Chains A and B, each alone.
Chain A
Amino acid sequence: MPRIGVYICHCGENIAGAVNVEEVRKYAEQLPEVAIARDYLFMCSDPGQELIKQDIRAGLVDRVVVAACTPRTHEPIFREAVAEAGLNKYLFEMANIRDQDSWAHWHDKEGATAKAKKLVASAVAKAAFLEPLEDRFVEVTPAALVVGGGVAGMFAALDLAGMGYQVYLVEKNPSIGGNMAKLDKTFPTNDCSACILTPVMVRVGTHPKIKLLTYSEVESVEGSFGNFKVKVRRKQTYIDWDKCTGCGDCVNACPARIPNEFNEGMDNRRAVYIEFPQAVPKKAVVDLEHCLNCGKRTIGTAPRIHSKTGKPILAPCERACKTGACDRSKAYDPEGEIIELAVGTIIVTTGYRVMDKAPFKEYSPQSPNVVTAMQLERILSATGPTAGHFERPSDKEKPKTIAFVSCVGSRDKRHHTYCSKVCCMYMLKEARLIKEKYPETDIYIFFIDVRTAGKDFEEYYNYCRNLGIKMLRGRVGGVDELPGDRLRVRAYDVDLGAPVELEADLVVLATAIEPAPGLAELGRKLGITCGSEGFLKEMHTKLYPVETPVRGVYIAGCAQGPKDIPEAVSQARAASSAAAVPLTFGKIVVEPLISEVNQRKCSGCGTCEKLCPYSAIKLVEDKGRLRSHIDEALCAGCGVCAAACPSGAITLHGFTNAQISAQIKALAS
């Protein structure tokens, strides 16, 4: 007969504040097959674990139930403790009396206590049917995939490559660099963004262990932790990158004009283009959607022959190309190329995008002089549309009065309820850069709260105020266009307790940071989820901030939530070290919680084979009869087969029929 030990955690006040622990302990003590029931302030702490270990070592218990928080975070910790004391670690079960009981029924102490008893009874009932299981080990592919080539992705890739692992860096744009490449200066030190970023881009581009896959996107992810099989679609560039030298001759020859995404639509690029002058790799791509097909000749068709000279009539881009990289007669596959990668771990660093000004009708987005902060960043940048000359878009005049509007789309129920975190600091930075260069400029920042938490941030804020940048507390209600390209800002000054109006030459909207487009879809491919705000969810906010519920998949940077560069880089380097652990270890433990077929009961009907979402089941001939066979490496332990098997021949270890039935009985009675 099993001897079950029940250990109830107070979790400080977290459980004990709603659940009468002593009452639950007494109840547990009299449950059938329970040998001992104890409680402790923090069961997961060293003395708490020691309580369990001592009882196992003394031979008092041979199965363990811990009633505490969620098994999703703490099951591995207790299993380890159980194993250390010499018991099979799968002879352990948890009752979730915190996350799903005390916290959720805080004001109903009686109800919470009664529920805790039931949950303990259910765990005890299951524990009686637990069976010892053995861990399996799987070899790890010593390579990693990093999705997203912004500053976070680049550092994650460099760290892993520096440890000697093969890294594949996938970036959807033609160049790595991400949003940081668009910035002029960076707070709080006012480093030139390009000066600190471009050398890193070069290092990434030339590192022998990093394979850059730009203009590419993740198509599908198969396999599991340690052995992911990733298909990457390399979009069609219509330029032979092996031959392209990035000279830009084709770009200069192209007659098409399309709003330039890199300069936030404030100038034009060509249909054949290099993303920006410092691009890595510095290669051209043809934007086929906007290509004018010069001479009415579409790509992939042979040029017409000149009737007089007998020479082919080439398109301007082809004519300009000296290396033969631009060859429009080549039949390119518009679908691009699929590249298959085998990696052990994956880091997602897809970054963010800033909201467009268009949804904010109250701020006159149709005016060219109402710009987003990212647009101002490009205006200030030496590589921007004005080559760093500070001028407003409508008439190229230097603005004399500038108004910044904070929290545009952030902290706003109509758009995003979260704080974008970096806007206060980048508004101050942009204001400071302007004020330092042109002290006569009047700058007003309308804010709701100034949030400058961070090392040296508050000092930066004070410095800006001392420069004479005026801070006004109050939400801006509207921006109106006035004659002479002037703008009227209407706001409510909370400190004055009165409405205020201000005329400005330029209005800057600090628009919200949003998840990168397609993030939810990428999350689905990887099996990780987004929170309500659309950013990827980490496994545990405090303790496992770069891990995800899918083992082997890590997240960093703004894919996880809005953050500044120092934070994004710290997180990226944390993710790379977490992702390197299994690569270094070389093999990983796979829980044996998978399905097993009882060959004698199996009728060979094939129901399970059709239903298995992981294609882990095959019908194999055995002694002249078909029998279901499960590939242990592919089985993910979902139990669909066990639920569907009409013969009851399949057992899912860890969630057997007997175990679940016992739980149901304990909960329902």
Chain B
Amino acid sequence: MQFEPKIIAFLCNWCSYAGADLAGSLRFQYPPNVTVVRVPCSGRVNPMFILKAFFTGADGVLVGG
């Protein structure tokens, strides 16, 4: 079976989260193995969140801001 990484994305509400919405409304297709946590600013992303994601089973973390 092919390896499917589990990716968690922390996206800033004002830019990259809006970008992810726009990608959807333009029907850009991408794999569904990325799930988003909405944050008010990428500055809200405590490094502990990233570590926590890896500890609890994520294979990759994306911070967008």
Interface residues of B in 22-57 (CB under 8 A from A): 23-25, 27-33, 35-41, 43-49, 52-53, 56-57
Contacts of B13 in A (CB 8 A): 72
Nearest CB to that of B36 among chain A residues? A100
Number of B residues with CB within 8 Å of any CB on chain A: 38
Query: A663-B37, A667-B58 given as contacts; is B29 within 8 A of A106 (CB)?
Result: yes
Instruction: Please tell me if A45 contacts chain B, counting CB pairs below 8 Å.
Output: no
Contacts of A108 in B (CB 8 A): 31-32
Main secondary structure of the interface of A (DSSP, over half): helix
Contacts of B23 in A (CB 8 A): 104
The one of B27, B28, B44, B48 in contact with A639, judged by C-beta atoms closer than 8 angstroms, is: B44
Contacts of B8 in A (CB 8 A): 664, 667-668
Nearest CB to that of B56 among chain A residues? A668
Proximity string of chain A (627-669) to chain B, C-beta cutoff 8 Å, 1 when within and 0 when not: 0000000000111101100000000101101001101110111
Query: A98-B24, A104-B30 given as contacts; is B44 within 8 A of A667 (CB)?
Result: no
Q: How many A-B residue pairs have CB under 8 A?
A: 118
Distance between Cα atoms of A645 and B6 in the complex (Å): 29
Interface residues of A in 503-549 (CB under 8 A from B): 527, 529, 549
The one of A99, A119, A661 in contact with B35, judged by C-beta atoms closer than 8 angstroms, is: A119
Distance between Cα atoms of A115 and B29 in the complex (Å): 14
Chain B: minimal CB distance from A534 (Å): 16
Proximity string of chain A (251-264) to chain B, C-beta cutoff 8 Å, 1 when within and 0 when not: 00000000000000
Chain A: minimal CB distance from B51 (Å): 10
Contacts of A435 in B (CB 8 A): none
Q: Is the CB of B41 within 8 A of A640?
A: yes
Q: How large is the interface on A (under 10, 10 to 19, 20 to 34, 35 or more residues)?
A: 35 or more
Q: Is the CB of B29 within 8 A of A638?
A: no
Nearest CB to that of B26 among chain A residues? A103
Chain B: minimal CB distance from A337 (Å): 33
Instruction: Please tell me if A316 contacts chain B, counting CB pairs below 8 Å.
Output: no
Q: Is the CB of A637 within 8 A of B40?
A: yes
Q: Is the CB of B39 within 8 A of A529?
A: no
Chain A: minimal CB distance from B65 (Å): 10
Interface residues of A in 29-70 (CB under 8 A from B): 70
Instruction: Please tell me if A96 contacts chain B, counting CB pairs below 8 Å.
Output: yes
Q: Is the CB of B43 within 8 A of A107?
A: no
The one of B21, B49, B58 in contact with A70, judged by C-beta atoms closer than 8 angstroms, is: B21
Query: A106-B27, A549-B18, A664-B8 given as contacts; is B36 within 8 A of A96 (CB)?
Result: yes
Nearest CB to that of A665 among chain B residues? B56
The one of B6, B18, B43 in contact with A640, judged by C-beta atoms closer than 8 angstroms, is: B43
Contacts of B44 in A (CB 8 A): 638-640, 642-643, 652, 655, 660
Distance between Cα atoms of A112 and B52 in the complex (Å): 25
Distance between Cα atoms of A100 and B56 in the complex (Å): 23
Chain A: residues with CB nearer than 8 A to chain B? 70-72, 96, 98-101, 103-108, 111-112, 114-115, 118-119, 122, 527, 529, 549, 593, 611, 613, 637-640, 642-643, 652, 654-655, 657, 660-661, 663-665, 667-669
> Can you name 14 A-B pairs with beta carbons within 8 Å?
A72-B18, A72-B21, A96-B38, A100-B36, A103-B24, A118-B35, A613-B43, A638-B40, A638-B44, A639-B39, A660-B39, A664-B37, A665-B56, A668-B57
For the complex of A and B, the 4 pairs showing the least CB-CB separation, nearest first, are A639-B44, A640-B43, A111-B32, A99-B24
Chain B: residues with CB nearer than 8 A to chain A? 6, 8, 13-15, 17-18, 20-21, 23-25, 27-33, 35-41, 43-49, 52-53, 56-58
What would 6 more interface pairs be, CB under 8 Å, given A99-B21, A108-B31? A549-B14, A638-B41, A640-B41, A643-B43, A664-B53, A667-B53
